[in-house]
Chains A and B, each alone.
Chain A
Amino acid sequence: MPRKNTHEIRDPIHGFIKITDDERRILDSAPVQRLRHIHQLALTFFVYPGATHRRFEHSLGAMELAARIFDVVTHSKILCDEVRQFVPASQEKLDHWRRTLRAAALLHDIGHLPFSHATEKKLLPAGWNHERITYEFILSEDIRALLNSLTPPIRAEEVAKLAVGPENAKGEDFNIWDLLLSEMIVGDVFGADRMDYLLRDSLHAGVAYGRYDLHRLIDTLRILPSTAKDDKDDEKGDRDSGEPELGVEEGGIHAAEGLLLARYFMYMQVYLHHVRRIYDRHLADFLIHWLPDSQFPTNVDEFLTFTDDVVMAAIRQRARQGIDAAKRLAKREHFKLLYERNPDDIRVTPEARQKVYDSAIQQFGEESVRQDWFAEPASILSFPVRMMDERVVDSRARSEVLRKLPNAKVDYVFVAPDRIDEARKWLKKNQRQIITAEGESDG
């Protein structure tokens, strides 16, 4: 019986994901296999018990979707004349870039710390984040040699750039084709990363809000000249900007709205859930206590030994020894919500949370108070939409939903459970004096 050169992997979101022999070698590499032991949503399973899925299956899903996007948007019958020059014409080149794109999507998360995003800002040296680790790991000796040994070889530099995108490939300039390809993986609006994790997180958390019409969306994706000019710029000479980017046919606008609404809802319901966020803080507190020099290593060999299992074992052990941050996690004795942002306070000062936090520290001591905040920029994102009459328009001119999509933004202050009743009474009595615009003036 001839040896198979493609392999199928069952996936709860996409059905069968097919991979080649070469891709299987990448999949079997230590950095990708490690992702079997990194939870996609950190400690969210403390709140949504089903959310125990891992980065490994998400990476496969991102690879699958990136390739589906690529196949649709580079199809010669679909490309419009204004952008054709930016897409490789030969099938050989397209095949090369498709393989590179799939490898990049498969490797795009290999730099994640244990428990994903939960802890990275505090626990890496200045200037490092998981994308930089991903970038450096793809360029490391082992992965470079692996990619170089494929038939035909794939260049590690190209994979690394596409895997992390222009925001994180510091010092690298991206041409238009590079930008388009990286947008297919890590793009803010139509990246395969986002498309996959919304559906996957939604399924596993049991929260239906993350669902949207994936098939319709991908089917209507196009490389389009941007509306570019978001003004009435009539200059002659250059080909009026029109720099290509990923957009949709008019028929896909509701699917795109669905994706961005799903993202907003998932942020508000799951990713920014206040209990999930305080567990992230307790985890960071624990890791600062537990790690040598309070930081994760950034060299490949050491880094690969750190997984969620290793950290969880340490948490349980330290909890038995009475270490506070470990007990908070192991015994679910998390801090309780004292304050969250509200429009009235923000009207007085955008720094309301900081003021409550500073006052609460004075009142209850640093060890009993934590704060957290996050803003998600979905509502200012735009993309081109090609109308039935061939005009290309800005998505926010076309869609009232996108114009009015709110920003997911949270501000939280938490207090230790044994002080929370006292703290709530204190805040109720003093909130008006604490949240003021005074004292901010530098005049």
Chain B
Amino acid sequence: MDRLQKVAVLTELADRMRERGSWCGETHLQKAAYFLQDLLGVSLDFDFVLYKHGPFSFDLREELAAMRADGLLELEPQEEPYGPKLVPTPRSKELRDRYPKTLGRFNKPISFVADKLGEKGATALERLGTAFYMKQKHHNLDDESLAKRINQFKPHVLVESAKNALREVREISSEAKKFKAA
């Protein structure tokens, strides 16, 4: 995928997330892109590591900044104490109109991620993203061990919540099979 195709996919993802009620701050978009890439197989070519608030890609952060500099994404300020929302601009829509094949190819995976994650807040996304990250990295561990490991790295995620998140990841992963990118 070249850069503009990637930008088309990311701004489409942001718009779909917003349509489903997402706050769509950087945390939300980072986690949504993580699921889109690593669970749905959309090859965005971002490298995710476990960071503040779960899986995070520094490359994606750079791309979001570049998209803002190119007038494709805007920061929409919010009242204290909240951080800004990321809003795709009309110019990004014009760009997406030039990529119907790319967006057609990834329409189902994008919709799936927006449907599953759009209503979730940053805390829930952190929990879910971290659970998926740990499950991918330590696929041989059972839920009990994984939950403890999640709690070890993110002590504010209690073991019971981590287990619930792992269960939810399993359900989402199972459903996702039908929607994976070809």
Contact = CB atoms under 8 A, between A and B. Distances in A.
A254 B28 CA distance: 28
A396 B121 contact: no
Interface string B55-97: 0001001101110111110010111111110000001001100
B71 A238 contact: no
Q: Among A233, A346, A376, A378, which residue has the most Cβ atoms of chain B within 10 A?
A: A233
A380 B4 CA distance: 20
Given A235-B123, A397-B77, A179 B51 contact: yes
Given A231-B82, A237-B161, A403-B75, A377 B64 contact: yes
B15 to A, nearest CB: 17
A107 to B, nearest CB: 21
B172 interface: no
A166 B77 contact: no
Given A245-B52, A380-B26, A397 B156 contact: no
A342 to B, nearest CB: 12
A227 B82 contact: yes
B121 A233 contact: yes
A199 B153 CA distance: 35
Contact of A397 (B26, B82, B102): B82
Contacts of A382: 26, 83
B80 A398 contact: yes
Contacts of B121: 229, 231-235
A380 B123 contact: no
A230 B122 contact: yes
Contacts, number: 174
Contacts of A226: 52-53
Contacts of A437: 94, 98
- State the majority secondary structure of interface residues on A: loop
Contacts of A406: 69
B32 interface: no
B5 interface: yes
Interface string A376-399: 111110100000000111101110
A266 B107 CA distance: 41
Nearest to B58: A167
Interface residues of A, number: 56
A241 B27 CA distance: 12
Nearest to B70: A350
Given A238-B157, A243-B52, A380 B75 contact: yes
B50 A393 contact: no
B83 A237 contact: no
Interface stretch (A57-65, A169-177, A207-215, A325-333): A169-177
B70 A228 contact: no
Given A228-B53, A382-B83, A350 B4 contact: yes
B81 A173 contact: no
Contact of B156 (A179, A242, A407, A442): A242
A86 interface: yes
Given A166-B50, A394-B82, A397-B82, A379 B65 contact: yes
A37 B119 CA distance: 54
Contact of B122 (A85, A233, A237, A350): A233
Contact of B23 (A170, A232, A245, A380): A232
Contacts of B124: 233, 235
A380 to B, nearest CB: 5
B17 to A, nearest CB: 11
Interface string A128-169: 000000000000000000000000000000000000001100
A232 B82 contact: yes
A173 B50 contact: yes
Nearest to A376: B65
B156 A166 contact: no
B122 A397 contact: no
Interface string B123-158: 110110000000001000000000000001111111
A351 B26 contact: no
A240 interface: yes
17 contacts: A175-B153, A226-B53, A228-B122, A230-B84, A237-B161, A350-B72, A375-B66, A379-B75, A380-B61, A394-B81, A397-B81, A403-B77, A403-B84, A407-B69, A409-B65, A441-B100, A442-B102
Given A238-B157, A437-B94, 6 more contacts: A179-B51, A230-B25, A232-B121, A238-B161, A241-B53, A440-B98
